[in-house]
Amino acid sequence: MIHHELIVVGGGLAGLRAAVEARNAGIDVAILSQVWPGRSHSGAAQGGVNAALANHPESADDTWEKHAFDTVKGSDYLADQDAVAQMTKDAIPVIYQLDQWGCPFSRFDNGTIAQRPFGGAGYPRTCYGADKTGHYMLHTMVERAVKAEVPMYVEWFVTRLMVDEGVCRGVVAYDMIKGGFEAFTADAVIMATGGAGRTYSNSTNAIISTGYGMAMAYHAGVPLKDLEFVQFHPTGLLTTNILMTEGARGEGGYLLNGEGERFMQRYAPKAMELAPRDITSRSIQTEINEGRGIDGKGFVYLDLRHLGAEKILEKLPGIRDLAIHFEGVDPIEEPIPIVPSQHYSMGGIDTDMDGATDLAGFYAAGECACVSVHGGNRLGGNSLLETVVFGRRAGAAAAQHIRNSGPSPDMTVLAGRTVAAVEAQVGGLAARGAAGEDPYAVRAEMTTTMKDHFGVFRDAATMHAGLDKMLALKERVGNVGLRHTGGVLNLDMIRTVELEGMVDVALGIAAGALARTESRGSHSRTDYPDRDDTHWLKHTLAHYHPEGPRLGSKPVTLGMFEPQERKY
Ligand SMILES: Cc1cc2nc3c(=O)[nH]c(=O)nc-3n(C[C@H](O)[C@H](O)[C@H](O)COP(=O)(O)OP(=O)(O)OC[C@H]3O[C@@H](n4cnc5c(N)ncnc54)[C@H](O)[C@@H]3O)c2cc1C
């Protein structure tokens, strides 16, 4: 049994930022991460991070209020406006702090942090480091955590929360290097495990972005909010769904259909390629569905050729590399074939602005959390921002909670009991062995069901059929068998254990999507094409139940901007 005052699960941007904040407040905090923190999915972020710095010549009168307006409008008015105001205000000092900590942002000639245009924003407001912004920010934060001497348990996979009488007391984790399960007791836990992209087969996300962190909270009784809002990024590579950043369009890239037409003029005549992602993805999908894909097939082109070699090599070198290596296309010479691809989980663990949840001592931040600042649709560049703004706040709030709570009780019995329960669960999987269901077959069916039935466009009949498939998969997941029973580096065990959680999160997405009889943001129903503020200007909450999610709701916090029609 290992004790720290605070355990942070996840070494991405949110987890690192939270840990550094708590450490600097004098808290004994440790990070547990299934990969070396510098390899977290945050490092794959390309395009940039938003803050109303007003450095760009065209954004001299930009303000945090304008950033807040764009965010709320982008969210299709589902974001909580107090949280959005907090984020857009904090954005400015938080970015300057990262700059002072050594994050190598790209610069304008006058030395200020460079900013580029991004989707759904009235101003060029997105700060960037070439097309490797997440990588730069992540490594800056790893350095800060090392400097603050935050202990990191790297290659530890957290399997379960330890909860006693309504209070979170730590986690149980699998030591991937040495084998075996260990209890980590704590006075508070922050979940920062990233998104649930891999519940879809067509995702831009890392293999480890499974949503299992959300599932652990869900199983411990914490509701998940707004799960049905799944962002499809307009431009994933055709064959692998690897992301081609929105920064490519921010730098002037075009979207072309099979007729060589910049079709966005029909859908967003003002914003064109820089309409928000929900609108751009739907426009691409409509072109494809109506037979105007390239050669009538299921993709369109992202064309960067007119930007010229110099600009592509300076501003988008990573995009060029990815296109060459994974699609066999050099964007200097040829247009890039792209399709809308699952990209971001707007929903997640229901938290307040300090990352606090309904479970005492349990916090969440980053993509696994839903504060909510993204509502029905996240603007590009607001997610990296969310990780550092709300990671910092969660770290501070957890530190305060620890200072306010009395001495920790003896957790030996609880720790022993929870480890035994995890060992029994894995023992059960191993006992079934190869005679049990193949977890990889179940996973593949789940991810294609989500892609085919809960995609860019949705309707009741397609979703009902998908929900039936998901409920059948839920049955099967109870019978999966563990093939490999070795103690050390047992990735088979990790993939098998997390599958049940993934199916539960996917079922939450499905149930929320069927229940929400309107179209808002990324949730676009052909049978309910209009936004319905009378009935649905509210968050959905999914509560875990062994037979499937139980849905409730929660009001949206307005205050700054009244809902309007969205035009771009
Ligand atoms: C390809 C791509 C490009 C993007 N580009 C941008 C962009 O330009 N701008 C922007 O604003 N946003 C972008 N995003 C979104 C943004 O990068 C993410 O939302 C954000 O980085 C998530 O950070 P996080 O800290 O919440 O999680 P992550 O960075 O995903 O980190 C999760 C951490 O949790 C750990 N973990 C997970 N489960 C467990 C477990 N069970 N036990 C132990 N550890 C666990 C992992 O090891 C990892 O350290 C992009 C996303 C992708 C996928």
Of 339, 325, 331, whose CA–CA distance to 307 is shortest? 331
Question: Burial, 2: exposed, middle or buried (Cβ in 10 Å; 0-12, 13-18, 19+)?
Answer: middle
Q: Could you tell me the two tokens for 328? A: 């066999």
Pairing of strands 348-350, 369-370: parallel
Are residues 331 and 430 part of one domain? Answer: no
79 to each of 171, 251, 355, 385, 398, how far by Cα in Å?
31, 28, 16, 15, 24
401 is catalytic: no
Are residues 433 and 520 part of one domain? Answer: yes
Are residues 417 and 334 part of one domain? Answer: no
Q: Is 387 in the pocket of ligand 1 (CB under 6 A)?
A: yes
What distance in angstroms lies between residue 297's CA and the mean position of ligand 1's atoms? 32
What distance in angstroms lies between residue 133's CA and the mean position of ligand 1's atoms? 13
Of all protein residues, the one whose alpha carbon is nearest to atom 13 of ligand 1 is 45
**What pLDDT, on a 0 to 100 scale, did the predictor assign at position 241?**
97
Q: Is residue 430 part of a domain?
A: yes
Q: Is residue 546 part of a domain?
A: no
Q: Is residue 349 part of a domain?
A: no
Domain boundary among 343, 378, 397: 343
Q: How many structural domains are present in the chain?
A: 2
User: What is the crossing angle of helices 382-404 and 81-100, to 10°?
Assistant: 90
Q: Is 17 in the pocket of ligand 1 (CB under 6 A)?
A: no
Q: Which residue range(s) make up the domain with 479? A: 412-530
User: What is the crossing angle of helices 460-477 and 491-515, to 10°?
Assistant: 150
**What pLDDT, on a 0 to 100 scale, did the predictor assign at position 312?**
97
Pick the atom of ligand 1 nearest to 14's CA.
Answer: 25
What distance in angstroms lies between residue 232's CA and the mean position of ligand 1's atoms? 16
Cis before 519 (ω within 30): no
Cβ atoms < 10 Å from Cβ of 567: 11
Q: Is 348 in the pocket of ligand 1 (CB under 6 A)?
A: no
Q: Is 19 in the pocket of ligand 1 (CB under 6 A)?
A: no
17 is catalytic: no
Q: Is 45 in the pocket of ligand 1 (CB under 6 A)?
A: yes
Of 116, 123, 117, 106, whose CA–CA distance to 68 is shortest? 123
Pick the atom of ligand 1 nearest to 11's CA.
Answer: 49
Are residues 439 and 330 part of one domain? Answer: no
**What pLDDT, on a 0 to 100 scale, did the predictor assign at position 406?**
86
Domain boundary among 320, 343, 366: 343
Instruction: Please list the residues that pair with 551 across neighbouring strands.
Output: 542
Q: Is residue 359 part of a domain?
A: no
Q: Is 391 in the pocket of ligand 1 (CB under 6 A)?
A: no
Q: Is 13 in the pocket of ligand 1 (CB under 6 A)?
A: yes
CATH of the domain at 337: 3.90.700.10
Of all protein residues, the one whose alpha carbon is nearest to atom 5 of ligand 1 is 45
CATH of the domain at 469: 1.20.58.100
Asked whether 8 and 19 are in contact (CB, 8 A), the reply is yes
| Angle, alpha carbons 240-241-244 (nearest 5°) | 115
Are residues 421 and 333 part of one domain? Answer: no
Q: Is residue 15 part of a domain?
A: no
What distance in angstroms lies between residue 134's CA and the mean position of ligand 1's atoms? 9
**DSSP string computed for 98-150:** HHHTT----B-TTSSBPEE--TT-SS--EE-STT-HHHHHHHHHHHHHHHTT-
Of all protein residues, the one whose alpha carbon is nearest to atom 46 of ligand 1 is 10
Q: What are phi and psi of 487, to 5 degrees?
A: -80, -35
Pick the atom of ligand 1 nearest to 247's CA.
Answer: 8
Are residues 436 and 331 part of one domain? Answer: no
What distance in angstroms lies between residue 18's CA and the mean position of ligand 1's atoms? 14
Are residues 338 and 248 part of one domain? Answer: yes
Q: Is 71 in the pocket of ligand 1 (CB under 6 A)?
A: no
Are residues 419 and 326 part of one domain? Answer: no
**What pLDDT, on a 0 to 100 scale, did the predictor assign at position 488?**
96
Q: Is 367 in the pocket of ligand 1 (CB under 6 A)?
A: yes
Q: What are phi and psi of 190, to 5 degrees?
A: -115, 125
pLDDT < 70 stretches in the chain:
none
Note the pLDDT tens digit of each residue in 233-290.
999 999 999 999 999 999 999 999 999 999 999 999 999 999 999 999 999 999 999 9
**Matching residue, tokens 């349990």:** 362
What distance in angstroms lies between residue 193's CA and the mean position of ligand 1's atoms? 7
Q: Is residue 385 part of a domain?
A: no
| Residue from 56, 67, 249, 401 carrying the catalytic annotation | 249
Considering just the CA atoms, what is the radius of gyration of the chain in Å?
Answer: 23
What distance in angstroms lies between residue 139's CA and the mean position of ligand 1's atoms? 13
Are residues 520 and 416 part of one domain? Answer: yes
Q: Is 355 in the pocket of ligand 1 (CB under 6 A)?
A: no
Q: Is residue 19 part of a domain?
A: no
Q: Is 213 in the pocket of ligand 1 (CB under 6 A)?
A: yes
Q: Is residue 102 part of a domain?
A: no
| Residue from 135, 139, 198, 233 carrying the catalytic annotation | 233
